[in-house]
Amino acid sequence: MPKLILFAAAALALYIAVTRIKALPAPKRKAAYLQLIFVVALVVAVLLALSGKMHWVGALITGLLVLLRQSLPLLIQLLPHLKGWLGQTGSGATSQVESAILRMTLDHSNGRLNGTVLAGAFSGKLLSELSQSELDTLLEYCRANDADSTQLLLSYLEQRFGEDYQNQAPPPGDSGGQLTEKEALAILGLSEGASKNDIIAAHRKLMQKLHPDRGGNDYLAARVNDAKAKLLGER
């Protein structure tokens, strides 16, 4: 008798659910029916597990599948926010700062700097290909021709060789002039059309690597701040 009552109650609940789904607008019915099927599957799995006719692992897997199905709409809604939190700076993403003599690149995955020489005797060379003596020659060329390039190269030298090049750079000040939107996006490692959330998240992530208080680089941190301000219209 208890089983008969339980069966009758389940049948009544199912009938009510189907009736309500039929009353929904047509575009919503398919999703509602799918949801009902998953719920029924979960209930059946739990009852079978309790009666000993299904191993508890099977019931657990069924429950997880139902949970995943129920969470899917929420996950889809969260995707734009996840993109913002990552700031489009996941694995393989880079930031780029260009001056008259150097194009410097920051790898977001490990915080390492590298760059390409754009002018002078080492034009076309990667900084990583040059010896310390060659880099010192390049540094003298930068000092004589472009302050921004000097700052960028010292950033690289400090990271590669350590204390030999610490405290050699003057305060960054207003170097580089006004950034274009394209330059600002490149500095933050973002693509055209990036949202406000993208910009804020990318700025936050890069500052964690570059902020002077965390042992980072003053000049690059200043450029990241400039890029954020440009894209958000703060200056």
Q: How high is the pLDDT of residue 128? A: 92
Q: How high is the pLDDT of residue 47? A: 64
58 belongs to a structural domain: yes
One domain, residues 140 and 116: yes
pLDDT digits (tens, 9 = 90+) for 95-108: 888 899 999 998 87
Q: Which of 8-12, 18-22, 91-95, 219-223 has the highest mean pLDDT?
A: 219-223
pTM: 0.54
Spatial distance between the Cα atoms of 91 and 109, rounded to a whole number of angstroms? 6
Please say which residue of 80, 115, 131 terminates a domain.
80
One domain, residues 113 and 203: yes
CB 54 within 8 A of CB 63: no
One domain, residues 100 and 63: no
Domain at 130, CATH number: 1.10.287.110
One domain, residues 25 and 108: no
List the single range of 45-49, 98-102, 107-111 with lowest mean pLDDT: 45-49
88 belongs to a structural domain: no
Domain that holds residue 27: 2-80
In angstroms, the Cα distances linking 28 to 21, 40, 68 are 8, 19, 19
Region class of 218: left (phi > 0), else alpha (psi between -120 and 50), else beta: alpha
